[in-house]
């Protein structure tokens, strides 16, 4: 009985400390962006919930540059650039949070028998959010995928 209570408490703690919301994809994926890089991107793109939702539903807003978003909730991960058959959209099972890093398992919608382990790294002092998917199946061999996003300030874009 005590173990069940502790387990529930730990799961609630992980969900409470994991970042959720909408995040802007950083286009230069060669290296992690700096805080200044993210701030410049946000200033140039002027992201909003409305634009993110338009991209999510496949409607490209007029007069916008190519921009992508990550919708992250306590139980779903959905990037707007995901292709059919990909491994980055699906059910999210949050694990423990240590420092700025939250572990998770992702059950891809198109591959429901596969569990992709990963982590979300989101320092509170930085606008940069990093998502790491580990051992993603590919033609050659499983590989890690690291994707960078930027936080942007708008009501209700980050919980």
Tens digits of residue pLDDT in 21-69: 999 999 988 999 999 999 999 999 999 998 899 888 877 766 667 789 9
Q: Which two tokens stand for residue 92?
A: 């999210």
Quick check: 68 and 55 in contact, CB under 8 A?
yes
Q: Facing residues of 91 across strands? A: 76, 107
The torsion angle over the Cα atoms of residues 45, 46, 48 and 52, rounded to 10 degrees, is -10
**Beta-carbon count within 10 A of 32 CB:** 15
Q: Structure pTM?
A: 0.83
pLDDT (0 to 100) of residue 7: 39
Helix (H, G, I), strand (E, B) or coil at 116: strand
Instruction: Give the integer Cα–Cα distance in Å for 89 and 72.
Output: 10
Instruction: Give the integer Cα–Cα distance in Å for 78 and 53.
Output: 11
Phi, psi of 4 (to 5 degrees): -65, -40
């Amino acid at each position: 009985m005590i173990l069940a209570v502790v387990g529930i408490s730990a799961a609630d703690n992980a969900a409470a400390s994991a970042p959720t919301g909408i995040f802007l994809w950083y286009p230069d994926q060669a290296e992690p962006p700096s805080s200044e890089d993210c701030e410049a991107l946000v200033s140039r793109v002027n992201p909003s919930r409305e634009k993110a939702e338009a991209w999510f539903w496949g409607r490209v807003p007029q007069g916008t540059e190519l921009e992508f978003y990550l919708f992250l909730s306590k139980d779903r991960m959905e990037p707007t650039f995901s292709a059919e058959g990909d491994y980055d959209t699906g059910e999210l099972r949050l694990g423990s949070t240590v420092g700025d890093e939250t572990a998770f398992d992702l059950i891809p919608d198109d591959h429901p028998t596969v569990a992709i382990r990963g982590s979300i790294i989101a320092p509170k002092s930085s606008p940069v959010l990093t998502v790491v998917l580990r051992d993603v199946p590919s033609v050659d061999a499983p590989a890690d995928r690291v994707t960078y996003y930027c936080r942007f300030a708008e009501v209700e874009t980050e919980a």
